[in-house]
């Protein structure tokens, strides 16, 4: 029998993974939310479900979009936690500046995350970003300009790159959409 159910990774597990990735204790996150440690512990253990206002506060405090906190579509039991079908990818990131990101990893509990990034024509990240991460990317389609540590590179399909805690930014000044897969450690979403 091929039963489907909600993704094996729950909201609580994702919140715990994000909290830990941010280096926050239960007490620190509870204080930032104006909630008790007991309440937060129950949420992380899926004994209590946060309301929409709590979800908004969690997303803001953990610096993720609220959509990141929602599970992807139900999966067949034998696929849950192992397979992410293209139609069931979870959107992540703010979704602005012409960038659409989807989580390719089954959940946020690994030591890394794998992301599918779509860069629309004309889109750019106007300011450099520096994250305490190691990131490796692979360009699948289109062209993408990426500045890493003050050096500008134009990527073609099949090219890959690495960012190790350096300032970076990207731009797609071209007429075609660019598609890339990024692996980020530790997870930022």
Instruction: Note the pLDDT of residue 18.
Output: 81
Q: Which tokens hold the place of 51?
A: 């309301």
Instruction: Note the pLDDT of residue 158.
Output: 98
Q: What is the sign, positive or negative, of the torsion defined by CA atoms of 123, 127, 133, 135?
A: positive
106 belongs to a structural domain: no
96 belongs to a structural domain: no
End-to-end CA distance of the chain: 34
In this prediction, the residues of the chain whose per-residue pLDDT falls under 50 are: 1-8
Query: Scanning the structure block, which residue is given the tokens 């979009």?
Result: 65
Range of the domain at 129: 111-185
DSSP tag of 137: E
76 belongs to a structural domain: no
87 belongs to a structural domain: no
Mean pLDDT of the chain: 86
Between the alpha carbon of residue 3 and those of residues 75, 76, 79, the distances in Å are: 8, 6, 10
| Residue 9, domain CATH | 1.10.260.40
Bridge partners for 116 per DSSP: 102, 181
The domain tally of the chain equals 2
| Residue 118, domain CATH | 2.60.120.10
pTM of the model: 0.71
Between the alpha carbon of residue 175 and those of residues 95, 105, 140, 166, 172, the distances in Å are: 20, 29, 16, 28, 8
Q: Which tokens hold the place of 74?
A: 């139900």
Q: Residues 84, 147: contact at Cβ < 8 Å?
A: no
Question: Cis bond leading into 41, ω under 30°?
Answer: no
């Amino acid at each position: 029998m091929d039963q489907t159910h909600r993704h094996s990774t729950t909201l609580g597990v994702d919140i715990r993974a994000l909290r830990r990735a941010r280096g926050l204790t239960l007490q620190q996150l509870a204080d930032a939310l104006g909630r008790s440690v007991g309440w937060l512990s129950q949420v992380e253990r899926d004994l209590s479900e946060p309301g929409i206002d709590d979800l908004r506060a969690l997303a803001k405090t953990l610096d993720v979009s609220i959509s990141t906190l929602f599970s992807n579509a139900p999966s067949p039991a034998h696929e849950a936690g192992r397979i992410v079908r293209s139609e069931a990818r979870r959107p992540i990131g703010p979704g602005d500046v012409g960038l659409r990101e989807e989580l390719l990893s089954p959940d946020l509990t690994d030591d890394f995350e794998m992301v599918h990034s779509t860069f629309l024509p004309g889109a750019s990240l106007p300011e450099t970003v520096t994250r305490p991460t190691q990131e490796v990317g692979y360009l699948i389609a289109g062209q993408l300009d990426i500045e890493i540590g003050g050096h500008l590179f134009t990527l073609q399909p099949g090219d890959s790159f690495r960012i190790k805690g350096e300032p970076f930014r990207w731009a797609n000044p071209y007429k075609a959409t660019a598609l890339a897969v990024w692996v980020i450690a530790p997870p930022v979403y």
